[in-house]
Structure 1
């Protein structure tokens, strides 16, 4: 058998020693995407069942906002699942998860039977999207007055940046201050006391000085108050005049930056924040 020249053989062996295998490359890529200390991006967005202020129902428009933000975790409010003709009977949380290649969990706070036998149930509520698998999920219904609409607290547990993390998403009532305060108190009861790093996001339908908000910010830190610039108004989208969409965090989650994104895709504006996990 013909032998390779000594110089060529040494060069070839050297290359084998420094080139990674396919498995090594994959593992390294995963480490880069979810390595400890890497910033974590989180979004909260009331999507108004996909209808923008222009009256157009367009899930793709919302998906692009989420995609372009680079969010790792997203809390969505006002999400339809086979709800009605207003959203073309689409399973919206499953659609977003497939389009964005993310894991999801859905909380059906309104859950009605189908119009016709054999069709899916008609549901409306909140959704959580996550780049990492969701290890545990639970939705707890919040206090509701006789004339109110049922709301809930959706809590997902996942592992991001090598850290176990609780991600809670809610949408408090819009038209009754006392009911909303009871809902906030229930959220504290359900979430407080855990040592697991926690993020609480959602459309809370109240301004920062309201009792229902201070009930929450006595327990969790207000991300926008710490690192946001300007008033942080999110509603109404066409002429924002109130900050009612929030990201709150525990002390093991350190905020780096926060921004309100400008878009006409919903009647609310989304809020995106960046954190580091300790």
Structure 2
């Protein structure tokens, strides 16, 4: 702790030779400055994850949100991006608000970003929504549901058009503001829509400053040509990592955690959720440090 009296007495004890006086005064001022200067902060640790929860249905096709919550709890992550999240969507998930229910079970904050927002099945019931969500144990400073190009699955004759469902939150990690994004890209074999989605996402990221983490179900391997522009601004947290899909015998690594250059990756791995996987995807977890 800085003691102003100590600094003052140290200055008074200088020998009266001009050159030595100047050097001693400088030394005393330096010591005083060091006494009040904070130590350089250590890199802040952060555990992030992505998990396509398959609307709460396991690889066995059984809907079980408790099983989904247990798989998420075992990740021990600070911030998690979720894909294929139902909110009052339909019979397959019992018209549950999966985003809020999972957040309540895990005691986490939640931001839900619908891709589809449809009229209720009956008058007076909640709107039917489907999209992505972000769970966070850290304070959320800001949130936004961005639009990117999509080819609707609800339209019998769809055309590529802007639509919501690209989620962003800003979380406070020991005073550092981190932009965390969650995405779910087009699943079709033709990569054209995914290529446009990548461009749209990069435009959103380009508007933000500071550390960035982008996670999600990209429906393409990291080496796919349509994802190549991502690697001009981000890097894959788990290059050469284990595959994520399908969960029982995975052969493709389409679920990715990516980070900006100012985020250091300590470790990253694909998680095996057990003999009866809680989803048809496996989650990916990464431990990172913020400079």
Shared fold (TM-score, shorter chain, > 0.5): yes
Equivalent residue of 2:72, what SS?
helix
Equivalent residue of 2:74, what SS?
helix
- The farther-off stretch of 116-125 and 134-143 is 134-143
Equivalent residue of 2:238, what SS?
helix
Equivalent residue of 2:171, what SS?
strand
Q: Does 1:212 align with 2:218?
A: no
Residues 151, 172 of structure 1: 8 Å contact kept: no
Q: Give the equivalent residue in structure 2 for 1:23.
A: none
CA distance in 2, matches of 1:271, 1:231: 9
Q: Give the equivalent residue in structure 2 for 1:192.
A: 206
Q: Give the equivalent residue in structure 2 for 1:222.
A: 236
For residues 127-206 of structure 1, what are the structure 2 equivalents within 5 Å? 127-145=133-151, 146=158, 152-175=165-188, 176-192=190-206, 194-206=208-220
**Against the structure 1 CA distance between its residues 265 and 184, is the aligned structure 2 distance closer, same or farther, given a 3 Å change threshold?**
same
Q: Give the equivalent residue in structure 2 for 1:5.
A: none
CA distance in 2, matches of 1:275, 1:152: 25
Bigger Cα Rg: 2
Residues 113, 164 of structure 2: 8 Å contact kept: no
CA distance in 2, matches of 1:202, 1:188: 14
Residues 37, 277 of structure 1: 8 Å contact kept: yes
For residues 74-93 of structure 1, what are the structure 2 equivalents within 5 Å? 74-93=80-99
Q: Give the equivalent residue in structure 2 for 1:47.
A: 53
CA distance in 1, matches of 2:172, 2:279: 30
Aligned-pair Cα RMSD in Å: 1.7
Q: Give the equivalent residue in structure 1 for 2:260.
A: 250
Query: Could you list the per-position Cα deviations for residues 160-179 of structure 1 after superposition, in whole angstroms to 9, with x for gaps in the alignment?
Result: 13211100000000003101
CA distance in 1, matches of 2:260, 2:120: 40
- The farther-off stretch of 78-87 and 148-157 is 148-157
CA distance in 1, matches of 2:243, 2:283: 10
**Against the structure 1 CA distance between its residues 262 and 148, is the aligned structure 2 distance closer, same or farther, given a 3 Å change threshold?**
farther
Unaligned runs of 5+ residues in structure 2 are 1-40, 152-157
TM-score for the superposition, normalised by structure 1: 0.82
Residues 151, 170 of structure 1: 8 Å contact kept: no
Give the deviation of 1:56 after TM superposition: 1.3
Aligned residues: 240
Give the deviation of 1:40 after TM superposition: 1.1
**Against the structure 1 CA distance between its residues 138 and 50, is the aligned structure 2 distance closer, same or farther, given a 3 Å change threshold?**
same
Give the deviation of 1:243 after TM superposition: 0.8
Query: Could you list the per-position Cα deviations for residues 130-180 of structure 1 after superposition, in whole angstroms to 9, with x for gaps in the alignment?
Result: 001221111112112425695631110110132111000000000031011
Q: Give the equivalent residue in structure 2 for 1:28.
A: none
TM-score for the superposition, normalised by structure 2: 0.79
Unaligned runs of 5+ residues in structure 1 are 1-34
**Against the structure 1 CA distance between its residues 110 and 193, is the aligned structure 2 distance closer, same or farther, given a 3 Å change threshold?**
closer
